[in-house]
């Protein structure tokens, strides 16, 4: 039987659009057949899986009215930003025959197919499919044979260029008088890199409100007596920049890019780093031997991130990269 991650993506592709509630039900049905899948972990696994399907470029997530949906992305073969022989990854929706079709096309045109599990401690993901070729023209020819899109410019570069910068986001905010909502709320602490009940001393302040009935989250950025609704991911980095707190770590020798758990990347930049390799980030717990922020918080480590993309992502976020050795993190 095919891995649960592949079967999940096949079902999403067949449905063409699926509400988040239907996705959760589908996930639970498939998980019920898996040995060792703890029922208590299902809510977290569902959330991380939908998050990672988006980051890997397999699905798009959006909100229509009050309902969240997932849609399969258009199938695409995208060049990877790596040196050496030309390589490309397959993203987007899939069908049960997709793996066989890719192998058949590559064998016909002279490519080598690599199909490996996409391993993540919490997410349930489809296999990673990658093609390597000796000649640059082989990869677009395979895409044509499969009748799917070909992207000669690596998706990581495209997504970096499409993403707004922190200043772009802040300049578009609509500010008004601050008014406290009678909702449960918490404050982002730039020192601890997490939400807490007590408000800090800094300015601006990021507040996360939770609707008492729908559980919908609302993030507000406060400057003095003014407030603006903001995307929570961008809001965290706005507070970090004002606090002169730089939390991103890059290992230039190993092409590893570490992002603390408490400050997730905005959607496009998260996908840009993931598309450097087509593989999910490694989730690493705190280690007392780590330096600085890495000794205090767990991190997501993105692999295969070339220096130019690492610099561009950090610049978009208003962060300076800390260069370090990530080889021992999580040992």
Mean pLDDT by groups of 10 residues along the chain of 331 residues: 89 93 91 73 88 93 82 95 92 95 96 92 92 94 96 94 96 92 92 87 88 87 93 96 94 94 94 94 71 67 95 96 73 43
pLDDT at 330: 45
pLDDT of residue 98: 96
Is CATH 3.10.310 the right assignment for the domain spanning 76-153?
Answer: no
First to last CA, the chain: 34
Backbone angles phi, psi at 55, to 5 degrees: -65, -35
Provide the pLDDT for residue 328. 56
Backbone angles phi, psi at 204, to 5 degrees: -80, 170
Give the pTM.
0.90
**Residue where the block lists tokens 């890719």:** 102
Q: Are strands 76-79 and 149-151 parallel, antiparallel or unpaired?
A: parallel
Residue 108, pLDDT score: 95
């Amino acid at each position: 039987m095919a891995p649960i991650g592949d079967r999940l993506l096949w079902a999403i592709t067949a449905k063409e659009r699926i509400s988040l509630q239907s996705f959760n039900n589908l996930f639970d049905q498939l998980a019920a057949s898996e040995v060792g899948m703890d029922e208590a972990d299902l809510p977290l696994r569902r959330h991380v899986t939908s998050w990672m399907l988006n980051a890997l470029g397999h699905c798009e997530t959006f909100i229509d009215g009050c309902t969240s949906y997932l849609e399969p992305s258009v199938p695409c073969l995208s060049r990877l930003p790596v040196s050496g022989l030309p390589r490309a990854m397959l993203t987007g929706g899939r069908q049960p025959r997709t793996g066989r079709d890719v192998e058949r096309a590559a064998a016909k045109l002279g490519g080598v197919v690599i199909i490996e599990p996409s391993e993540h401690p919490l997410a349930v993901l489809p296999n990673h499919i990658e093609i390597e070729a000796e000649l640059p023209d082989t990869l677009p020819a395979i895409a044509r044979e499969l009748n799917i899109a070909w992207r000669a410019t690596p998706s990581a570069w495209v997504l970096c260029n499409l993403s707004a910068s922190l200043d772009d986001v802040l300049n578009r905010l609509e500010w008004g008088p601050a008014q406290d909502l009678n909702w449960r709320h918490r404050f982002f602490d730039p020192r601890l890199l997490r939400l807490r009940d007590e408000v800090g001393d800094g300015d601006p302040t990021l507040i996360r409100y939770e609707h008492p009935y729908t559980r919908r989250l609302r993030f507000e950025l406060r400057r003095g007596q003014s407030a603006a609704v903001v995307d929570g991911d961008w809001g965290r980095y706005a507070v970090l920049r004002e606090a002169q707190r730089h939390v991103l770590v890059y290992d230039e020798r190993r092409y590893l890019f570490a992002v603390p758990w408490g400050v997730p990347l905005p959607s496009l930049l998260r996908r840009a780093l993931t598309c450097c390799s087509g593989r999910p980030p490694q989730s690493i717990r705190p280690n007392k031997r780590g330096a600085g922020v890495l000794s205090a918080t767990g991190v997501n480590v993105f692999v295969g991130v070339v220096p130019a993309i690492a610099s561009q992502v950090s610049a978009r976020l208003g962060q300076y990269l800390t260069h370090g050795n990530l080889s021992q993190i999580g040992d």
